Amino acid sequence: MTMSDSTNLFVRARAALMEAEPQRKCELADRLYSDWNNNLLKIESDSDAVRTDVTEPGRPLKPELVHPRALPRRGLGTQEGQAALIHAVTHIEFNAINLALDAVYRYPGMPVEYYGDWLRVAHEESKHFNLLRNKLNKMDYDYGDFVAHNGLWEIAMRTAHDLVHRMAMVPRMMEARGLDVTPDMIKRFRKIGDLETAEILKIILSEEIGHVEAGSRWFSFLCKERGIDAEQTWLDLVQTYLASDIRCPLHWETRKQAGFSDNELEQLQELCTRN
């Protein structure tokens, strides 16, 4: 990487996105955010067109990626079951680092605040990944010891052509699902006496609300810029991309903190009930 490359936001974001080793990816994401805050990066691009050169991010050989229906079901009654659930969340956080970096790299021509938001998200997802991986290590497991699925990245690629679609479906739908299920996971880990994991999940939930809120804010910004109704557009996109795979229950309190309106939640609840 040349000196000019080292100060180019998009070059640096792509390098972090394509890094396969998890710890190194986290370090690159953290350094990106630090350099951004210290005004060491420049937003320089030859074009404002959506970039299409990245179809797969850097990732380690393990975990093996399988179809979601091929994932074994494990309860919290055994240490292996507990580790499997923690691993599943760890994998989501690893994917989330890539999604945030991709949101920076793939879409030039956005306001400067947009890049600051998604660099912060990449930094915080890196923290979440490391907290969970360290917990796995304490249990004599590591990231990659269980199979996982690639659903988050797949929906990112399906929506990559249009940032309105990406913001609608990745932060505002797929990642927002974490707001629905994490409060119950916290209760379940507390119930079995694993207060450490419960506290990690509490930290993650608090910051994930902000991540989904960033998606809500930029989705609304783009809809306003294009002169389209944000709520109706979001509901239309949800049905287009997910059809009958819309899951409930919804956690209204956290979703409202993340920028969802009562009308959106009522309509989404109706779609869940109908499916």
13: Cα separation from own chain's centroid: 16
pLDDT single digits (tens) 156-211: 999 999 999 999 999 999 999 999 999 999 999 999 999 999 999 999 999 999 99
Encoding tokens for residue 52?
């299409």
H or E element: which one contains 118?
helix 112-138
In this predicted structure, what is the pLDDT of residue 5? 83
Cα 8–49–220 angle (5° rounding)?
Answer: 95
- Identify the three-state secondary structure at position 144: coil
Helices and strands (DSSP H and E) totals, the chain: 12, 0
Q: What is the DSSP letter of 51?
A: P
pLDDT at 129 > cutoff 80: yes
* pLDDT class of 140 with cuts at 50, 70, 90: very high
Give the count of alpha carbons within 13 A of 2, CB side only.
3
pLDDT single digits (tens) 38-65: 999 999 888 999 999 999 999 999 999 9
Of the candidates 96, 78, 86, the residue with the CA atom closest to the CA atom of residue 25: 96
149, 65 Cβ separation under 8 angstroms: yes
pTM of the entire predicted model: 0.96
Residues 6+ apart with CB under 8 A from 13: 32, 101, 104, 105, 119
Encoding tokens for residue 174?
């797929």
In this predicted structure, what is the pLDDT of residue 1? 62
Sequence ranges of the domains in the chain: 3-43+73-274
| Average pLDDT of the segment spanning 127-148 | 98
In this predicted structure, what is the pLDDT of residue 148? 96
Strand partners, 8: 42
pLDDT single digits (tens) 5-45: 899 999 999 999 999 999 999 999 999 999 999 999 999 88
- Give the integer Cα–Cα distance in Å for 25 and 19: 5
| Average pLDDT of the segment spanning 242-262 | 92
56: Cα separation from own chain's centroid: 15
Residues 6+ apart with CB under 8 A from 262: 256
- Give the integer Cα–Cα distance in Å for 165 and 163: 5
